[in-house]
Amino acid sequence: MNFDAAIFDLDGTLLDTIPVWDRILAAPLYRRGLPCPDSYIAKVHSLSFAEAAEYTIALFRLDEPPERLLDEWDRLAADEYAHSVQSLPHAVDYLNALQRLGVTLAVATSLPEGLYLPCLKRLDLLDYFSALCSTDETPHGKSEPDVFLLASRRVGVRPERCLVLDDSRVALDSAARAGMQTYDASRGLGEAPLSGEPMDLYDTNRVQTGETIRRGDPVPPGRYYLCASGWIRSADGRFLLTQRAEDKTYPLLWEPTGGHVMAGEDSLTAILRELKEELGLNLNSDAARLIHSVRRERDFYDAWLFTAPASLPDLKLQRSEVRDAKWVTASELQRMSRAGELHPLIDYCNKVVAH
């Protein structure tokens, strides 16, 4: 699942407000001696404020204007959002992860600005978002995709490249009808998907074209992305290898640390980042030499060789990527290559040893 924009509901998705709203919606009914069935709460959560007031008056046959209900809800909600409402678990971590991947973030909520804006400011969430959209600005609530399409237009991302995160089935179904990807936020944001890393594209001469794709997207004909590996050699001539995690492609095979070059990076910057992320190593670019560079079917690939510092710190393995690490001699490296114990694209061990 790749996407360039993530469009967030607030209540029940980013903000822990469902119990709050259950109380707010029920209070006017109880004051009038009326019951508050669960089916009523579920329905009004997917409506705009104006729609919810009209629906409530019709359902309970109230002889009063909708403005009276709206005023009651506003007074109760304003205090809760201004002072009490908190973000849900994993919300900030997930926003940070998407921001690092260059995903544009937007809000599509049924809340009016007077409620959501003070709350987002108080929780230091406002600056994450490039667009703030409310069903108050659209003809319909979330039973129709208007507010999601408004967010898509404001961030300049096509609907099919948007991910909508909402805890309402009604809202998710309407977003899907607009061609958007969806995630049921009632499952929590700890399991929410991440988009592939953005990558610059190059022509056959390795000239940057100004185009980008995300990892996992089809590569257009005549276009290439960049990948890089970083070999580390100790003073006594041994090489550091890492073992791929069990759930990766080519599981448990050995390789130097490597990965895709993200948009805005060159291959050396990228491999320094990978060494930090996967092994916890901060190496100096001055200690690197380019020992291998080739154009492959879909990418340009660079291999860098680093001389290990005299006092190399303990490795901190990123377990989602790396199962193990070990030092091998030049002869052990060549034996592993012949035995098929290395990643199949590591087919240039003689160059590594020769340097």
pLDDT score of 240: 97
At 289-315, the pLDDT tens digits run 999 999 999 999 999 999 998 888 899
% the chain with pLDDT above 90 = 90
Provide mean pLDDT across the span 173-178. 98
Q: Is 162 helix (H, G, I), strand (E, B) or coil?
A: strand
Indicate if the pLDDT at residue 61 is higher than 90.
yes
Distances (CA, A) of 344 to 60, 261, 295, 321, 324: 69, 20, 16, 17, 18
pLDDT score of 310: 81
Pair 236, 341 in one domain: yes
Indicate if the pLDDT at residue 283 is higher than 80.
yes
Determine how β-strand 104-109 pairs with β-strand 5-8: parallel
Pair 301, 160 in one domain: no
pLDDT score of 345: 95
Burial profile 6-42: b = 16 or more Cβ within 10 angstroms, e = fewer: bbbbbbbbbbbbeebbeebbbebbeeeebebeeebee
Pair 2, 137 in one domain: yes
- Alpha-carbon gap, residue 140 to 309, rounded angstroms: 63
Indicate if the pLDDT at residue 1 is higher than 80.
no
Indicate if the pLDDT at residue 23 is higher than 90.
no
Pair 181, 212 in one domain: no
pLDDT score of 311: 84
CATH of the domain at 129: 3.40.50.1000
Pair 65, 110 in one domain: yes
Provide mean pLDDT across the span 97-119. 95
Indicate if the pLDDT at residue 352 is higher than 90.
yes
Pair 205, 180 in one domain: no
User: What radius of gyration do the chain's Cα atoms show?
Assistant: 27
pLDDT score of 42: 87
pLDDT score of 110: 92
CATH of the domain at 350: 3.90.79.10
pTM here? 0.79
Distances (CA, A) of 239 to 77, 268, 333: 62, 18, 8
Pair 73, 185 in one domain: yes
- Alpha-carbon gap, residue 201 to 31, rounded angstroms: 62
Average pLDDT over the chain, rounded to an integer? 95
Pair 240, 136 in one domain: no
pLDDT score of 74: 87
- Alpha-carbon gap, residue 120 to 69, rounded angstroms: 25
CA–centroid distance for 257 within its chain:
23
- Alpha-carbon gap, residue 298 to 304, rounded angstroms: 20
Which residue type is seen at 181?
Q
pLDDT score of 12: 93
Residue 125: pLDDT band (50, 70, 90) is: very high
- The residue ranges of DSSP E strands in the chain, in sequence order, are 5-8, 104-109, 131-134, 162-166, 181-184, 198-202, 208-214, 225-233, 239-244, 254-255, 257-260, 288-295, 299-307, 322-328
Provide mean pLDDT across the span 118-139. 97
Whole domain around residue 42: which residue ranges?
Answer: 1-195
Q: Is 304 helix (H, G, I), strand (E, B) or coil?
A: strand
Is 228 within 8 Å of 274 (Cβ atoms)? yes
Last residue of a domain, one of 156, 172, 195: 195
At 200-237, the pLDDT tens digits run 999 999 999 999 999 999 999 999 999 999 999 999 99
Last residue of a domain, one of 176, 195, 214: 195
pLDDT score of 130: 98
Number of domains in the chain: 2
Last residue of a domain, one of 173, 195, 217: 195
% the chain with pLDDT above 70 = 100
Q: Tokens 């046959």 — which residue?
A: 61
Pair 223, 92 in one domain: no
